[in-house]
């Protein structure tokens, strides 16, 4: 048994890509996309026609509609290859606008339903800002499920749990990047690997808090830099993994053990906490890493969305 097969015994494996032609080889349950992955895909010859088709058919309805149609087209192609759900992201420029996020999310779901896709097979990805989390809470009450992304802090995870969102995506690799850059020459790669990796520790703390207190929101580790981060989180509800790292797992037959255990978490001494808006904003402000990476992540997704729109023109 290779490590990918072993991981699937403990964790739902999700493919993190817009390149849907790569998905079938790894038989993931779910798949995730984002603007950066879609931008990367449409620059390949085999996907360029999807962008051209969206522009030719819907260009007269404005860039927002063309983007929605393109995202849903990719999502439908992906859903034809997997048994589970696809995550489709709301424009990151709406990250601080609850009402606009709601409008865009509902439109995306309408388009999926127009293609015959059941609402339960789609997760609307929204940045884990206060405004995004409030939008997700309302969508969940409407029966539209959400994936709260760009999540770097415990406070964001707590607020998402309070909002009863379907799933969160804490970004392991980007947390690791920040601490490694901050440490500079003092960084000890070996000492900070595996269970000691700061990104891994962050996901573990969130996972254990949720399981201890019976919070139903699913935890999906994301943004991995190496296989060691993945194997250190074996047992997490879900892990979304790039095709390159899926290939490395599939090619490795070293033993793989469960690292996270929901039953064990219930015996831990973890206090229950909640946040109102002021408390959330203060807690996020106190976390320099999360504050910087959230802002940086939104800017990066916005930049790639703008590049996609430029290609549409």
The catalytic position among 8, 21, 125, 313 is 125
pLDDT for 313 equals 85
pLDDT for 64 equals 95
- Tell me which CATH homologous superfamily contains domain 3-305: Aldolase class I (3.20.20.70)
Residue 143, pLDDT above cutoff 90: yes
pLDDT band at 254 (very low <50, low <70, confident <90, very high): very high
Give 267-313 pLDDT, tens digit per residue: 999 999 999 999 999 999 999 999 999 999 999 999 999 999 999 98
End-to-end CA distance of the chain: 48
pLDDT for 21 equals 86
Residue 80, pLDDT above cutoff 90: yes
Residue 67, pLDDT above cutoff 90: yes
> Could you tell me the two tokens for 76?
């439908």
Q: How far apart are CA 236 and CA 9, in angstroms?
A: 11
**With contact defined as beta carbons under 8 Å apart, do 58 and 73 qualify?**
no
> Could you tell me the two tokens for 39?
């931008």
For residues 201-227, one letter each, b for 16 or more C-beta atoms within 10 angstroms of the residue's C-beta and e for the rest, the string is bbbbebbbbbbbeebebbbbbbbbbbb
Domain assignments of the chain as residue spans, ordered by start:
3-305
Residue 8, pLDDT above cutoff 90: yes
Q: Find the mean pLDDT for residues 123-133.
A: 98
**With contact defined as beta carbons under 8 Å apart, do 52 and 65 qualify?**
no
Q: Find the mean pLDDT for residues 204-230.
A: 98
Q: How far apart are CA 192 and CA 178, in angstroms?
A: 13
Q: How far apart are CA 313 and CA 311, in angstroms?
A: 5
Rounded to whole angstroms, what are the CA distances from 37 to 124, 138, 159, 201? 16, 27, 27, 26
Residue 20, pLDDT above cutoff 90: no
Average pLDDT value for the chain: 97
Global pTM value: 0.96
Active site (annotated) includes residue 125: yes
pLDDT band at 218 (very low <50, low <70, confident <90, very high): very high
pLDDT band at 245 (very low <50, low <70, confident <90, very high): very high
């Amino acid at each position: 048994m290779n490590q990918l097969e072993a991981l699937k015994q403990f964790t739902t494996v999700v493919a993190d890509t817009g390149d849907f032609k790569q998905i079938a080889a790894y038989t993931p349950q779910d798949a995730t996309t984002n603007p950066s992955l879609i931008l990367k895909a449409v620059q390949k010859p085999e996907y360029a026609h999807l962008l051209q088709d969206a522009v030719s058919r819907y260009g007269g309805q404005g860039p927002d509609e063309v983007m929605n149609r393109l995202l849903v087209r990719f999502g439908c192609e992906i859903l034809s290859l997997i048994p589970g759900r696809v995550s489709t992201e709301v424009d990151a420029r709406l990250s601080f606008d609850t009402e606009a996020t709601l409008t865009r999310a509902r439109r995306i779901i309408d388009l999926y339903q127009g293609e015959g896709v059941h609402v339960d097979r789609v997760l609307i990805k929204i940045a884990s800002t206060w405004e995004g989390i409030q939008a997700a809470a309302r969508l969940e009450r409407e029966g539209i499920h959400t994936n709260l992304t760009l999540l770097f802090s415990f406070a964001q995870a707590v607020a998402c749990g309070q909002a009863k969102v379907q799933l969160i995506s804490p970004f392991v690799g980007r947390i690791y990047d920040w601490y490694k850059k901050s440490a500079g020459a003092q960084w000890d790669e070996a000492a900070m690997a595996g269970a000691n990796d700061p990104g891994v520790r962050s996901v573990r703390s969130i996972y254990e808090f949720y399981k201890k207190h019976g919070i139903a929101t699913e935890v999906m580790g994301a943004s991995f830099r190496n296989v060691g981060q993945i194997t250190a989180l074996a047992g997490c509800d879900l892990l979304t993994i790039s095709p390159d790292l899926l290939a490395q797992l599939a090619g490795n037959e070293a033993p793989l053990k469960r690292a996270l255990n929901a039953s064990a978490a219930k015996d831990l001494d973890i206090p229950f906490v909640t946040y109102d808006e002021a408390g959330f904003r203060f807690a996020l402000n106190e976390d320099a890493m999360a504050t910087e990476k959230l802002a940086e992540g939104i800017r990066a997704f916005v930049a790639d969305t703008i590049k996609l729109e430029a290609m549409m023109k």
